[in-house]
Amino acid sequence: MNLRPRTSSLMTWTSKSLEEPSWSPGGTAALEKQLPSRSPGENIFLHIVDLSDPKTVWKFVENFKQEHTLNVLINNAGCMVNERELTEDGLEKNFATNTLGVYVLTTALIPVLEKEHDPRVVTVSSGGMLVQKLNTDDLQSERTAFDGTMVYAQNKRQQVVLTEQWARAHPTIHFSCMHPGWVDTPGVRLSMPGFHARLGARLRSEAQGADTVLWLALAPTAAVQPSGRFFQDRKPVPTHLPFARTSSSPAEEEKLIEILEELAQRFK
């Protein structure tokens, strides 16, 4: 593979020549070996941003776009807080990080992405979203008993809906979201200890979980897939289980965008 990073800010690489047809542990290992050798240290910039603080996200974007270009945005940061906590702005922390923060960061960077050739946005969602129907009536978990796992799953459903909406609104950018599989990460060990103990050795490695993310960010074969799709193991997969009744109406999806936009502007 001949990887040519065009933008290394936000720990993002992009390329014109990554063409492995399907997921494999060997393919991931090969990709890991290639990336550092093609990414000189002087082209890598680390930006630390608290996604739960929309004011900070807005400020970051304003500074970033003055100094950098951007070819690929990977929305991977997230949290699963199992007790209802509020940020300093009075926002429920999971919603603020996983949904509002991702919304502000992505929409604010769209004008930067649109200036580049073959721009992409990859959002790391979760298969857990399959058990959730979009619920715009209680985005911050104020009216029901709090369950951190289900709140996280609802946030991940919201990310899938946002990806579909962005793909329709911005056809020059390739949007995708994906399920990395169940991965042995510190976040899973900390937030879901019972789940982690039950799956044990069946959990994927971090490299295996990252494989489809990198493929969506780098591969020409990924870019020819329709924008707005949900992927697992480099393949588009359904966003709803049979008979699950988790589909949402256009009105519900528009309401999500309206609420997020109102909140985003409030903190700008």
Catalytic center residues: 152
Rounded CA separation 103/158 (Å): 10
Phi, psi of 145 (to 5 degrees): -60, 135
- Which residues make beta-bridge pairs with 123? 75, 177
Rounded CA separation 150/152 (Å): 5
DSSP string, 103-172: HHHHHHHHHHHTTSSS-EEEEE--GGGGG-----S-TTS-SS---HHHHHHHHHHHHHHHHHHHHHH-TT
One-letter amino acid for residue 18 of the chain: L
Antiparallel, parallel or unpaired: β 235-236 and 229-232: antiparallel
In sign, the C-alpha dihedral spanning 123, 125, 129, 130 is: positive
- Among candidates 51, 23, 79, which has minimal Cα distance to 209? 23
